[in-house]
């Protein structure tokens, strides 16, 4: 099974439906759109890029280009980012990634890591998933200390190489020239941005609403892992677009709507069917039938 591809775009890239349809036709399953930079810049193409990427069938998320030099500025940038994501209609559970690469950022690893941790906390406190984008040299050179940050998917850039060069990478940006289009592309190993697998940075604990009895059939519109427990359980099978999954109940788990599939021996399988904010569904990863 080919690894899912996610593209990332900014105002330097087109915002037309045709552009995103072409990306989808050539294998892209997700798009990460630049929303903000510092506390004074909003990507003027973000509205159309998000709308047209979604219309082309891509999962959509956002990123912020970091410029912070203090903890307070990091928090201010994160709040600015969240406010724009909300204004653009991105639901809770969407990934809002922190792009950590600018030369103005602290060269002291401990300082930058503390500031980045403050940024990430604002994002997660607002109900969004988060991640850090950076280059391999910033990790191996201790510019950013991953051990002092919350557990991340880790979106790592390393171009013109045969591998990410670091263990535990969830998403690897391997090129800035995908298909000769001056377009960044990443392999989304974990499915964090494309839905090919449930996110691994959340805790598998059902909300207080528990499980609701409901029978039906779910047909995914993308690849999603069927698991032995919600969200982070061991993988049973990678369900493909068009598969039919019968279920007997559903629940809200860590920002997702999860269904339960009865299996032999009194066991069950669990599969995320979209994102949720509390007990309100915010996206669908397929269709349902009775």
Domain boundaries, the chain: 5-188, 206-289
Q: What is the pLDDT of residue 210?
A: 52
CA distance 265 to 174: 44
CA distance 137 to 227: 35
Q: What is the pLDDT of residue 6?
A: 96
CATH architecture label of 206-289: Roll (2.30)
Q: What is the pLDDT of residue 194?
A: 86
User: Considering just the CA atoms, what is the radius of gyration of the chain in Å?
Assistant: 19
Q: What is the pLDDT of residue 231?
A: 80
Query: 247: which DSSP letter?
Result: E
Mean pLDDT by 10 residues, the chain (290 residues): 84 97 92 98 98 93 98 98 96 94 98 98 94 96 95 93 88 92 90 59 34 86 90 87 92 84 86 82 85
3-state secondary structure of 33: strand
Query: 178: which DSSP letter?
Result: G
Cα–Cα distances in Å, from 228 out to 1, 234, 263, 267?
21, 5, 10, 8
CATH architecture label of 5-188: Alpha-Beta Barrel (3.20)
Tell me, yes or no, if the pTM score tops 0.75.
Answer: no
3-state secondary structure of 112: helix
């Amino acid at each position: 099974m080919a690894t899912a591809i996610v593209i990332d775009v900014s105002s330097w890239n087109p915002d037309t439906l045709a552009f995103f349809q072409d990306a989808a036709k050539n294998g892209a399953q997700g798009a990460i759109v630049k929303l903000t930079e510092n506390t004074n810049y909003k990507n003027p193409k973000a509205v159309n890029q998000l709308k047209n990427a979604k219309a082309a069938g891509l999962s959509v998320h956002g990123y912020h280009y970091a410029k912070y030099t203090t903890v307070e500025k990091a928090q201010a940038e994160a709040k600015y980012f969240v406010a724009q994501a909300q204004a653009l209609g991105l639901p809770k559970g969407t990934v809002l990634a922190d792009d950590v690469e600018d030369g103005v950022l602290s060269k002291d690893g401990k300082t930058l890591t503390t500031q980045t941790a403050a940024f990430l906390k604002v994002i997660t406190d607002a109900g969004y998933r988060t991640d850090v984008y950076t280059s391999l040299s910033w990790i191996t050179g201790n510019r950013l200390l991953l051990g002092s940050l919350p557990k991340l998917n880790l979106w790592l850039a390393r171009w013109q190489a045969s591998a990410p060069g670091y263990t535990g990478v969830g998403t690897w940006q391997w090129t800035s020239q995908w298909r000769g289009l001056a377009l960044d592309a990443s392999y989304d190993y974990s499915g964090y941005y494309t839905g090919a697998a449930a996110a691994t940075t959340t805790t598998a604990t059902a909300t207080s609403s528990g499980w609701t009895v409901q029978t039906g059939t779910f047909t995914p519109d993308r690849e999603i892992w069927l698991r032995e427990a919600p969200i982070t359980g061991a993988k049973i099978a990678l369900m493909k677009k068009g598969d039919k999954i019968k279920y007997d109940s559903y629940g809200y788990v860590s920002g997702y709507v999860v269904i339960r599939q009865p299996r032999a021996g009194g066991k069950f399988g669990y599969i995320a069917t979209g994102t949720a904010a509390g007990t309100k569904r915010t996206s669908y990863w397929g269709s349902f039938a009775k």
